[in-house]
């Protein structure tokens, strides 16, 4: 919803300052009584009745330099795992943050078949033997 105009805010606040109650001012100008009280609170706290700037959510965990280094590393060494990238860059964040930053940069995060083929195969519990071989 759009903020009320500066002119309306000024007129509402002047009427409230003249001693009228917030419900009367609200009825006269077609706004809510809560809006009138919020204007008074804004004026007390900040000295102005202009709307406060809206925040855009949480601050990013990684700064621009860290993000650029992460993307560069992912481009040069695509076979690194997320944890390896995080450790190599000494990032203090969770693995999900690294993944999200790579996704935002348009990088896919799939292991190459060559890396998977060269890794040692894990033995399943079913095929594992305990004790001397027969």
Tens of pLDDT, residue by residue over 54-108, are 878 888 899 999 999 999 999 898 888 999 999 999 999 999 999 999 999 988 7
Chain-wide mean pLDDT for the chain?
85
Q: Give pLDDT, residue 121.
A: 57
- Give domain status of residue 112, yes or no: no
- Give domain status of residue 93, yes or no: yes
The total of structural domains in the chain comes to 2
Q: Which residue has the higher pLDDT, 37 or 128?
A: 37
**pLDDT surpasses 90 at 52:** no
Distance CA 125, CA 134 (A): 17
Long-range contacts of range 2-5, CB-CB < 8 Å, 24 or more positions apart? 3/51, 4/31, 4/35, 4/51
Domain holding 89, by residue range, is 64-105
């Amino acid at each position: 919803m759009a903020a009320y105009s500066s002119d309306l805010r000024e007129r509402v606040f002047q009427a409230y300052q003249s001693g009228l109650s917030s419900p009367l001012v609200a009825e006269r100008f077609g706004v809510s009584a809560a809006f009138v009280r919020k204007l008074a609170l804004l004026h007390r706290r900040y000295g102005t009745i202009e709307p406060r700037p809206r925040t855009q959510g949480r601050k990013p965990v990684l700064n621009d330099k860290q993000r650029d280094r992460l993307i560069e590393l992912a481009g040069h060494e695509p076979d690194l795992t997320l944890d390896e990238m995080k450790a190599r860059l000494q990032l203090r964040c969770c693995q999900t943050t690294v993944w999200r930053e790579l996704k935002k940069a348009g990088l896919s995060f799939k292991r190459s078949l060559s890396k998977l083929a060269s890794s040692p195969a894990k033995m399943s519990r079913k095929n594992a033997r305990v004790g001397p071989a027969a």
